[in-house]
Structure 1
């Protein structure tokens, strides 16, 4: 399906290749080529597919409206194979052999950290749609622009939510030992302690583990009022099913997006997913201009509502097109300067980059209620109030559904 989508988009799919250091000389005729780096194969391919779907809708939309500078856009795609070193090699190829005026990518934080270093080396603007590690925009780089909120905002938002509901007296943090997981966990511990919230348990685990029961028993023994998971999809499903198996009953199950925020999570975890609370970059019912239309067109084309990765990719391509229009040229310094001065209203909210290349994006909090993601925070955009405290596993069997409540 992924490669079929690539062909349908008319994109060039290339394997990573290390090219000599060439001075960029963008062509002044034909389509304007933009480099895309995302995982089409490997363990993160499902997220690459979500990116592709967002790029697809944005590309068709931009070209149908006349393209950019009177020329259509063409996406030059590089598969990073879910491997950070491949993401770096892909940026080098796009910057030197393909000589694109800008690049969008990658997906994971570990891949994007290497890709950003390579973009800075070759002085090509890189728009980061999704990767959240704080370090990406803390390197003093001048060519990197991130639209998504960084890790510290994930934890700041979830802790603000906890404070509004009932500030926990003891917090447990369980996270995968990846760049994203570690970055979020470190920010959570730092911010919790700054708020006077004791961290009762702090545990890293190897991503892709299958038996979490010993870890969960240890966390359970610490008697937390809330647990924060930082995990991708398979681990998220296992953590919740095994929390039920060991009868782990904190008043609040929370997560820093990732696997807990994917449409597949409630389907795969079943009843164990119910009442989990997750911070997210975007929802299909977000109150930003154009969201209903984008969500409708996405569902018509793909048969389901978009996840935030698709919205980020869609937005990133529109940000790129806007910068190219305002630059009026394909020279990289002009495109970089145009990105610095971005002031664009999108389905992802307003996009403006600070001196570090970071967009200040507000995050949302959702809770799975009756198998559906429901926005419960911030209050001004919430569809309803959160269910708190979470019923115990025994109580859930007696209370299978929750009636509607006003926020």
Structure 2
């Protein structure tokens, strides 16, 4: 009998310990709020993914240092899409199985567009931090919200710059050549540039796209040299941006203004990779370390630390703002995706990236309005030169 009672006691003790362990785990989980995100940690977009990861983590550290969300710590569930659409969709399914009420992602437009469509079918919000393809939010859908700008912001900021130059020196820029990558991002920019500049009365003397993998741009650039456009505008990813800039210098193409459209041109790696070929080049972007938004300099310092000393690009700042917006919506909506979606429609934040307020306008749905900047590469740094309200330096005209 004693042996039976002893075994029974051990059994009861083990059961009690299991119950305590389960209760403890449940308590721990209830004190943590998971936010899902997808980006390209590997593959051709890995440099951008690294920037996004830093932005996410800096925002989460800031939120948790301030006490979390109503006392609950925020945890990042980050998935790698390996720069591949199918892997991004699989990553989204994995995160949804973990019951996240929202997902931030992905980096590129080509991946983000189908991801937004998938998330809308699941009735779970997708918060876009970096992808710029116009069609992601125009017409968009009720479950897709974009913190960053649409591609036309880049084209419009460069067009405004050109108009200002022509106002100061009438007729100084009459013709433009356009070269973009042949993907969702490039096609969107291509449409914006060729359409807006033509409507403004400028002559688009050349408009070209190139496929991924092209390394020799010299035949295109030599054709541009013969056409002698006043301005050349290019949209490329990381490796392409450096190659194009170097080959422009090599063939002796010397437009009055050479402009890159964010993405690869906005990375610190472009400055080091292109070297002197980047001198005086214009780069359209929406965030630079010299912006005047409150806290921007402090954000740059924290992002740089998170990147191991590397200077942050706009992609890190955009992702930081996206995480703040996600946390704000989850604070209101909890773990209910529909309530989080509703909360996103009411988000109104002032961040070091800029204001975040999703609204419908001009055919866009759930789109944040972002101010476009024109920077110039001066002494190996991006210096904001337009618009005048944001300029931190004077334009250096190429000789």
User: Normalised by the shorter chain, which TM-score bucket?
Assistant: 0.7 to 0.9
The C-alpha deviation readout for 1:138-166, integer Å capped at 9, x for no partner, is 24410111011101111011111111123
- Counterparts of 1:268-307 in structure 2, within 5 Å, are 268-301=273-306, 302-307=308-313
Kept in 1, the 8 Å contact 2:165–2:173? The answer is: no
Equivalent in the alignment of 2:119: 119
Equivalent in the alignment of 1:349: 354
Equivalent in the alignment of 1:193: 198
Residue segments in structure 1 that go unaligned for 5+ positions in a row:
1-26, 392-407
The C-alpha deviation readout for 1:9-51, integer Å capped at 9, x for no partner, is xxxxxxxxxxxxxxxxxx9824111111001111111111111
Shift of 1:298: 2.7
- Counterparts of 1:162-311 in structure 2, within 5 Å, are 162-166=162-166, 168-301=173-306, 302-311=308-317
| Alignment root-mean-square deviation, CA | 1.4
Aligned match of 1:319 in 319, 325, 330?
325
2:396 and 2:65 mapped to 1: Cα distance? 45
Kept in 2, the 8 Å contact 1:92–1:119? The answer is: no
1:272 and 1:31 mapped to 2: Cα distance? 49
**TM-score for the superposition, normalised by structure 1:** 0.86
Kept in 2, the 8 Å contact 1:125–1:144? The answer is: yes
Aligned match of 1:369 in 338, 363, 378?
378
Kept in 1, the 8 Å contact 2:133–2:184? The answer is: yes
The C-alpha deviation readout for 1:358-407, integer Å capped at 9, x for no partner, is 0001011110012111110111221122122x22xxxxxxxxxxxxxxxx
Shift of 1:70: 2.3
Equivalent in the alignment of 1:102: 102
- Aligned to 1:338, the other structure's residue is in SS state helix
Q: Relative contact order, CA 8 A, sep 6+: which one is greater?
A: 2
1:325 and 1:39 mapped to 2: Cα distance? 27
2:303 and 2:45 mapped to 1: Cα distance? 21
- Aligned to 2:366, the other structure's residue is in SS state coil
Aligned length: 362
2:122 and 2:94 mapped to 1: Cα distance? 10
Equivalent in the alignment of 2:6: none
Shift of 1:92: 2.5
1:65 and 1:377 mapped to 2: Cα distance? 35
Kept in 2, the 8 Å contact 1:87–1:114? The answer is: no
Kept in 2, the 8 Å contact 1:85–1:114? The answer is: no
The C-alpha deviation readout for 1:54-75, integer Å capped at 9, x for no partner, is 1111111111211113211111
Does the C-alpha gap of structure 1 residues 282 and 34 become closer, same or farther in structure 2, counting only changes over 3 Å? Answer: same
Equivalent in the alignment of 2:22: none
Kept in 2, the 8 Å contact 1:54–1:313? The answer is: yes
Equivalent in the alignment of 1:7: none
Kept in 1, the 8 Å contact 2:259–2:282? The answer is: yes
Shift of 1:208: 2.8
Kept in 2, the 8 Å contact 1:92–1:118? The answer is: no
- Aligned to 2:116, the other structure's residue is in SS state helix
- Aligned to 2:78, the other structure's residue is in SS state strand
2:244 and 2:304 mapped to 1: Cα distance? 30
Does the C-alpha gap of structure 1 residues 28 and 304 become closer, same or farther in structure 2, counting only changes over 3 Å? Answer: closer
Deviates more, 1:300-309 or 1:210-219: 300-309
Shift of 1:132: 0.2
- Aligned to 1:32, the other structure's residue is in SS state strand
Residue segments in structure 2 that go unaligned for 5+ positions in a row:
1-27, 167-171
2:84 and 2:328 mapped to 1: Cα distance? 30
